[in-house]
């Protein structure tokens, strides 16, 4: 069973692939889907449709345990704040094994309702 650790909260969740209820945000089994099923806040202003970058995460460990990034995701990531070589969109990165990701500070502090930053 894959485990996903979300930093900086250091919250690890474990689940059986294909068994999480799909919340219709992002791809089934994506980091966003996992986060939503375990009440971990991962911003997703576009509803997980790969139309924004608010679900941007940085993969700390286990990048080979995520689906390959497709062209749509790579094109959208080019616009992400704080882009790194280990950046992924949580709505597109499907979990296949153990992964540790960091939710960037600007993402944790963004409020989509009203769109104001608390930074």
Domains present along the chain, CATH in parentheses: 3-111 (3.10.20.30)
Summary mean pLDDT of the chain: 89
DSSP the chain: --EEEEETTTEEEE--TT-SPP-SSSSTTBHHHHHHHTT-----TT-SSSSSSTTEEEEEE-GGGBPPPPHHHHHHHTT-TT--TTEEETTT-BB-S-EEEE--HHHHTEETTTTEE--
Higher pLDDT, 118 or 29: 29
pTM given for the model: 0.87
Q: How much is the average pLDDT of 78-99?
A: 96
pLDDT score for 108: 53
Higher pLDDT, 18 or 117: 18
Q: How much is the average pLDDT of 46-52?
A: 94
């Amino acid at each position: 069973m894959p485990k996903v650790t979300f930093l900086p909260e250091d919250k690890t969740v474990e689940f059986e692939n294909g068994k999480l209820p799909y919340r219709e945000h992002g791809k089934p089994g994506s980091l966003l889907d996992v986060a939503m099923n375990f009440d971990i806040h991962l911003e997703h202003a576009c509803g997980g449709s790969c139309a924004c970058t608010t679900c941007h995460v940085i993969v700390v460990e286990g990048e080979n345990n995520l689906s390959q990034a497709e062209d749509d995701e790579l094109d959208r990531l080019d616009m992400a704040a704080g882009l790194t070589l280990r950046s992924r969109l949580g709505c597109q990165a499907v979990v296949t094994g153990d992964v540790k990701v960091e939710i960037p500070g600007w993402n944790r502090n963004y409020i989509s309702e009203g769109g104001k930053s608390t930074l």
